[in-house]
Amino acid sequence: MSSLEQIEAIEKRLWNAADTLRANSNYASNEYFMPVMGLIFLRHAYSRYLAVRDGIEKNLPMRGGKTRKLTKEDFSQKGAIFLRPEAQFDYLVELTDSDDRAKAVIHAMETIEDDYKTLRGELPKAEYQELDNEVLGQLLRTLNPEELKRTTGDVFGRIYEYFLTQFADLKAHDNGEFFTPISLVSMIANVLEPTKGIVLDPACGSGGMFVQSAHFVERLHQKPSERLTFKGAEKNPTTIRLAKMNLAVHGLEGDIQKAITYYDDPHELLGKADYVLANPPFNVDEVDADKVKNDPRLPFGLPGTSKGSGKGGKGKAKDRKGKVSNGNYLWISYFWSYLSKQGRSGFVMSPQASSAGRDEAIVRKKLIETGGVEIMMAIRSNFFYTRTVPCELWFLNRAKPKKHRDKVLMLDARNIYRKVTRKIYDFSPEHLQNVLSIVWLYRGEEKRFLELVVTYLARTLDEANSCFKTKDEGEKEIKPLEDYSTALAVLRTVLQPFLDTLPKDAAHAETLKQLCEGQSTFTKDIHSFRTAIAKERSQWSKRSSRVASGLTSATKRMSPHAEASRDLVKNADLLYKLAAKLIEVCEKDLNTRNSDAWVTRDIMKARKAADVARETAVEHLKLVRYFHRQPG
């Protein structure tokens, strides 16, 4: 199991445990929401604190033979939060049922707010007084599992985002609209590539656009706090708290103001933002046209107003008289107007915006005539947790190259998705990279595309090699194909004493023959696969295989290996089915109950072990073909 899969498994276990506690405590999800997110914030702050503390202490100056005490500034330089002893998670976990845990947690939050002005008044406190002392204790212990004490990197940052996702699915706050799916946010950030300057989100929700922008900078091995300045606006006070906590658990800070962007511009960034990322509300028809008609952020004019029914009667048409007919192009105009001369914007938008007529079409025409519309991407439905509607991603670029001024890259990504649950889809990491590679090629960045192909082909060989030797979740060495062959042999060995008591032409004979022949063929195919992969790895190590011309040849050469892995999957599954059929035939037709040679417990144990080994071998084999198919 990969480290990513381990983290995903931990996320699910933590969520299930926390949700079970909620169910058993009679709290509604909206009541449990902020206390849980607050504790995850504390736990993550403690992880980052521990990760950098020892290194800081080693480098502390000494005066008069005494080492200087730790300060907030020491940790800020390392992208971590300074925690006083009473705010450290281990201290809170060790409290007993006779202690007032709510009081202790509230005090921990207050000490952090005292040290960090951007968090003052934002962390949950009073909410903990509503939680039962025992339930709070269980929750603290749940969020402090042993395996997380050994993890490295931004694991709790991921967990914070995962819990936001789950609470959004439950519509625990603001009907779930505070959260933009990470897949879409990551796509926007990676197309925009924010590297330096002001990042603005005028509808910032829980701050995901800022976090993914920071992740992009981190992948360049640079510090986001030194490269990017985050500024946001959000109308909901609770959502602002979530955003500030979200930034803090990722070691970030931002200036997020309470504002309704239609009427307010708290940061006054007209023409000054380097990057604008957002997921604004779709199709809003309640904006007062008189209040916004002279807004300098609307360079293309108002996108039309509702005339009302004109009859003085009741109804929505009458109520909407004097309102902007649809707010989509207000947002689009805001995003364009905020950009500096070199600025770029990426945002989620309703599909209606790309085909709207009348006054909206006039605004769209003016926007297109600027030459600044760079990319439009269609996304299928079911990416959002609380809405099943499709959407589009729009990208604007004030500094688009001259050769592209009269062009717009149109990407139809509606058939690109991974099914997460019955009702939720997302992009896999490979989906993201593959779509981005089209953008790279459009921008003339062929080298990046070729590097991606190299990565996929190298991963193909790595996955093929892991079929023979790798490590499991517990870092124990395993040999998936060999282990499966061995597990089948053990199952045969356990069955053999009973099989020896049967006539050669008994009911089991044909199935046993197929199993024996299949095992022999499987063993030979494994040997051939190993030999071919070893030869291919030797060829791949030559520099010529990794240049553009060599990559086409390498992809073709590896094609038979990918097909061989698929055939091994089929044969692995077939062998297990034959072994299971053999057991069933014996039990049904050959009177196993009256035979001392049939030891049910041992046979079932061996059968289970063979099935587990089969699943592991198949999982690794499937990845060989999966990664080989990506460059295509």
Provide the pLDDT for residue 158: 63
Bridge partners of residue 324, in order along the sequence = 305
Provide the pLDDT for residue 228: 96
C-alpha 123: how far from chain center: 25
The sign of the torsion formed by the CA atoms of 152, 156, 157, 159 equals positive
Q: Which residue has the tokens 């990664």?
A: 627
pLDDT tens string 490-505: 999 999 999 999 998 9
Say yes or no to pLDDT of 173 above 50: no
DSSP β-ladder status, 62-63 and 66-67: antiparallel
- Range 468-494 average pLDDT: 93
Hey, what are 395's tokens?
């990208």
| CB 487, CB 606: distance < 8 Å | yes
| CB 22, CB 138: distance < 8 Å | no
Provide the pLDDT for residue 578: 97
Q: What is the DSSP letter of 541?
A: T
- 577-580: long-range pairs with CB below 8 Å, 24+: 578/511, 578/514, 578/515, 578/518, 579/488, 579/491, 579/492, 579/515, 579/607, 579/610, 580/607
Among candidates 8, 99, 90, which has minimal Cα distance to 45?
A: 90
Among candidates 266, 382, 395, which has minimal Cα distance to 339?
A: 395
C-alpha 298: how far from chain center: 35
Provide the pLDDT for residue 176: 39
DSSP β-ladder status, 425-426 and 66-67: unpaired
Total residues belonging to the chain: 632
Q: Which residue has the tokens 């998705």?
A: 417
- Which amino acid appears at position 79 of this protein? G
**Picking from 147-161, 274-288, 370-384, 499-513, which range would have the lowest pLDDT averaged per residue?**
147-161
**Picking from 59-73, 293-307, 467-481, 617-631, which range would have the lowest pLDDT averaged per residue?**
59-73
Please spell the DSSP secondary structure of 75-119, one letter per residue.
Answer: HHTTT-----GGGSHHHHHT--TTS-HHHHHHHHHHHHHHH-GGG
Say yes or no to pLDDT of 157 above 70: no
pLDDT tens string 525-557: 999 999 999 999 998 988 666 677 788 889 999
> What domains are defined for the chain?
3-159 (1.20.1260.30), 175-309+318-444 (3.40.50.150), 460-629 (1.20.120)
Bridge partners of residue 233, in order along the sequence = 257
User: Cβ–Cβ contacts within 10 Å for residue 148, how many?
Assistant: 17
Q: Alpha helices of 116-250 — where are they, by DSSP H?
A: 133-142, 146-149, 155-169, 182-192, 208-219, 224-227, 237-249
Provide the pLDDT for residue 103: 96
Rounded Cα distance, 290 and 304, in Å:
12
The helix/strand/coil state of 341 is strand
User: Cβ–Cβ contacts within 10 Å for residue 120, how many?
Assistant: 13
pLDDT band of 436, cuts 50, 70, 90 = very high
